[in-house]
Amino acid sequence: MMRDDRNKHSSFIHELNKNKTLLLMILPATIYYFIFMYLPMIGITLAFKSYNYSKGLFGSPWSGFENFKFLFANGKILRVGFNTIGYNAVFIVVNHSLQIMAAIFLSEIGAKYFKRLAQSFMFLPYFISWVIVGGIIQNIFNYEFGSLNTLLTSLGLERLDAHMNIGMWKYILVGSSAWKWLGYGTVIYLASIMGIDSELYEAAAIDGAGKFTRIKRITLPLMVPQIVVLVLLNIGHIFRGDFSMFYQVTGNNPLLYETTDVIDTFVVRSLLQIQDIGMASAAGLLQSIICCIILVTCNSLVRRYQRDYALF
């Protein structure tokens, strides 16, 4: 027994020695992850504590499920959670449909110059920070001199007050998301169309299939794997709101919280403005757990559907 153990031990040392350089090379990223990803996990306990700034993480007293009770008591978390899922679901449907259509049309038209120009314009918003999008939103939807109202008055129509018309912000958010991601998604879908064997189209043309038939019978069915994978990956993050987008597009306007608040904006606000650390970490923990469950489910679906595309 003893000898066996010692053998095992020395072979482990030997193994370490053999991989010394590689282990040293992976060390920086490992330490980085330990400090910035794994250490904060201790802080999950904050969700069960009543945080006191002077006492810090370890000194603050435990409070059981008090933070969660408070979170559910004012009903905010349900509305915020519902908003997060609702917005993301609409984003997924709208964005992917627009991107798929753009990719199909781009792949089918002949005019090279037009094609390149259209793709350049559509891809441009991807490069812009959400801060700038916030500026653009101010330009368009300002009541007194926004360009939307400039257009409406020049057409003899009535002005639109975006800040009185709270429901309008749903559409503005959907529009902003579509605007930002159209070019990016189109590139991915276009790549998958380019991968389709052109002989299929030639054969279909010989059989007398028109453009619409070819798209319906060849392009779309062959895009399905890519679509399913991308959509499932997005669904995996359905419980995570794009903070920058919601914050900048709505200008963090308290009047709009009812319709536009998502978990991520709620958490940041609880942390920085209300400074309710307990509630913020309780909401964050809840989000992490639900996200984890959804992501694992989605990944197992991807794995069942297309093994190669599974993330883990």
Q: Which of residues 73-112 bind another protein (CB under 8 A)?
A: 98, 101-102, 105-106, 108-109
Q: Which of 192, 219, 250, 265 binds another protein (CB under 8 A)?
A: 192
Ranges within 159-188 binding another protein (CB under 8 A) = 179, 182-184, 187-188
Q: From CA 104, how far away is CA 219, in angstroms rounded?
A: 8
In three-state secondary structure terms, 49 is strand
Size of the site for another protein (CB under 8 A): 108
Query: How far is residue 13 CA from its own chain's centroid?
Result: 43
Q: CA 89, 92, 97 angle in degrees (round to 5)?
A: 135
Torsional class of 306: left (φ above 0), alpha (ψ -120 to 50), beta (otherwise):
beta
Q: How far is the CB of 210 from another protein (least distance, A)?
A: 4
Q: Which of 7, 11, 138, 300 binds another protein (CB under 8 A)?
A: 138
Are the C-beta atoms of residues 242 and 264 closer than 8 Å to each other? Answer: yes
Q: How far is the CB of 244 from another protein (least distance, A)?
A: 6
Are the C-beta atoms of residues 308 and 228 closer than 8 Å to each other? Answer: no
Of 132 and 224, the one with the shorter C-beta distance to another protein is 132
Ranges within 198-237 binding another protein (CB under 8 A) = 202, 205-206, 208, 210-212, 226, 229, 233
Of 33 and 82, the one with the shorter C-beta distance to another protein is 33
Of 78 and 191, the one with the shorter C-beta distance to another protein is 191
**Nearest-CA neighbor of 305 among 236, 234, 232?**
232
Q: How far is the CB of 81 from another protein (least distance, A)?
A: 15
Of 1 and 56, the one with the shorter C-beta distance to another protein is 56
Ranges within 231-270 binding another protein (CB under 8 A) = 233, 243-244, 248, 251-252, 264, 267-268
Q: Which of 256, 262, 295, 298 binds another protein (CB under 8 A)?
A: 295
Q: From CA 138, how far away is CA 145, in angstroms rounded?
A: 10
Q: What is the DSSP string of 211-223?
A: HHHHIIIIIHHHH
